Chains A and B, each alone.
Chain A
Amino acid sequence: MDMKLRHDQIAGMNLIYKWHSFEYFLDAMQELGFESISIWGGPPHFDCDWKGWQDTSYIRKGAEHRNLKITGFLATSTNYRYQVGVTEPEHRERAFQYFANGIRAAAECGSPSVGINTGWGYRDMDREEAFKRCADMLYRLCDVCRENGVYLALESLKSLETTVGVTLSDIKRMADEINHPSLRIMPDTGAVSYNGERLEEWFQVFGEKIIALHFVDGMHQAWGDGGSPLADMMQTLEQHGFKGPLMLETSAGKYMTDPKEADRKAMAVLSRFVK
């Protein structure tokens, strides 16, 4: 296996550190030898809502101080309050403002992209209507991205989480519908595997439109714990000359009391593929 990643392509994420402080996360990244991070823009580490967003200087300065490059930012949305496909008109504008503020925060942090998913609609209502709502919201957010000099990186979800953007063909259809120069694609290897797809298929369809990966082992586990075909994935990345960030969006609950150990293990596994 000849594939060699640049060390700074492997980006740690603070999602599994949410039971600890942001400072703890940054210190852990430095201790474990990470050179880049992708910010999970959720509470309690970062406060963003439809009215505004937290001053990002503590993120920028904290990363700079530890020689960590910020290569991604995720506008979190899978739990409560904000999601792209929201049905209720009175909540819809608040959701837009929230994501727009997340984009502005990402730009302040110097991230080249903002991760987002398609959102979802009620399962007892029409799926096509939900699809149109999601496409409309994402187009508007692409405009905000263009104004702020960042890309919107669209990822798929598991079928447990939505009916709108699950499969590769869903995301292709959504990308075609949006058709905006600020839209890029961010395959999530957890969702890709869960849905029975292969990373190679995503690269064949989207090619250079793929700007980043949420790079996890199986069901969002640390590398080494999920049984994913890592060597095959690395071969795919090599064949397509992928130079973007591999964001370790580990989120399984079992890691949250000791997230540093999970990242230590992941880094040890991935270091075999690092130059």
Chain B
Amino acid sequence: MEKISMSRFGNCNEHYRFYTMEHFLLNQKRLGFGAVHLFGGTPHVWIDAYRKDEGADMKSQISDAGLRCASFMIETSSMRYSLGLIREADGKSRAYFDRCYAYAAELGVELVHLQANGYCLDDSIESRKNRMLEDLAREKHRAEEFGLKLSVVNRTGDATNLIRSLTDMQEMVAALGEDAPCCTAETAFFYAFGETLDQWLDGLGEKLVQINLTNTLFDGGRHAWGDGYLNMGDLLDTLEQRNYQGELNCGCMVRSYMQKPWLWDESTAEQISFLRG
């Protein structure tokens, strides 16, 4: 059974919002992470309905730092643009998502992640779910036009997001069939529905293309390793036993981490090093 090496783990810049991209990259290289899972929000990436940064510039910056860019996460947490708003008349979310895809293509990644949010709670749940399915199927094919593979990540903090659990993910995949996007699992949220990594691997098979390996304090945050209740050793054993070959992203996000984010990355790197040498 092959052990997962440190270089297979990636990290995300989301909790470095108050630091430069250079600062983030230097710390990732120093700590031995092999890949960057780029979060597409400011200050590191500017994309809106009207313009975008050059993805190729970021690609060079990451490779010059000796790192690989493994995936791109579309920023919709501010709800200025979201999946649920794409069909609105002003066309801004449509334009935003297209610019995100163009940026990701320039970045040279294959995988683009999104969360299925922006579905207002005073609409009926049936109506919201039906709209989401149509939106995800359309976006899967739209992303493919840019040479990208779209993947949906489970998130629990935003109730306008309709993919929160393994059951939600499986229902989406079953409903859309070949039109279903891929799936990304965020381990920090498994507790909310009593789920296990084995269940996600069994339930989604090859549809599961990335695992965001994050810890939890049962508070809705995505915690670093060394700051939560999950056992990374158990999760890594499972991944190795199952010969998991997809991406691994240790990107955490808790507001209080943003003051000194590298401390939390050090904690995660230390755990990986302790467990896998």
On A, residues with C-beta under 8 Å from B are 18-21, 24, 42-44, 47, 49-51, 79-81, 86-88, 90-91, 120, 122-125, 159-160, 253, 256-257
Which B residues are in CB contact (< 8 Å) with A19? 120-121, 158-160
Q: Is the CB of A80 within 8 A of B78?
A: yes
Which B residues are in CB contact (< 8 Å) with A160? 255-256, 258-259
On B, residues with C-beta under 8 Å from A are 18-20, 23, 41-43, 46, 48-50, 75, 77-82, 85, 90, 92, 118, 120-122, 157-160, 220, 255-256, 258-259
Q: In the bound complex, how far is the Cα of B258 from the Cα of A18, in angstroms?
A: 24
Q: In the bound complex, how far is the Cα of B18 from the Cα of A81, in angstroms?
A: 13
Q: Is the CB of B122 within 8 A of A79?
A: no
Given contacts A20-B120, A123-B19, whether A79 and B78 have CB atoms under 8 Å apart is yes
Q: Is the CB of A124 within 8 A of B78?
A: no
Of all chain B residues, the one with the shortest Cβ separation from A159 is B259
Which A residues are in CB contact (< 8 Å) with B85? 44
Q: Is the CB of A20 within 8 A of B121?
A: yes
Which A residues are in CB contact (< 8 Å) with B19? 122-124
Given contacts A20-B121, A47-B90, A81-B48, whether A87 and B43 have CB atoms under 8 Å apart is yes
Which B residues are in CB contact (< 8 Å) with A88? 43, 46
Question: Assuming A42-B79, A47-B90, what are 14 further A-B pairs, CB within 8 angstroms?
Answer: A19-B120, A19-B121, A21-B120, A44-B79, A49-B48, A80-B42, A81-B48, A81-B78, A81-B80, A122-B19, A122-B23, A125-B20, A253-B220, A257-B159
Given contacts A87-B43, A88-B43, A124-B23, whether A43 and B78 have CB atoms under 8 Å apart is yes
Q: In the bound complex, how far is the Cα of B258 from the Cα of A119, in angstroms?
A: 15
Q: Is the CB of B49 within 8 A of A81?
A: no
Given contacts A44-B85, A49-B48, A88-B43, whether A123 and B18 have CB atoms under 8 Å apart is yes
Q: List 20 A-B contacts (CB under 8 A).
A: A20-B120, A21-B122, A24-B122, A42-B78, A42-B79, A44-B120, A50-B50, A51-B50, A80-B75, A80-B78, A81-B41, A81-B46, A88-B43, A122-B18, A122-B43, A123-B19, A125-B20, A159-B259, A160-B258, A257-B159
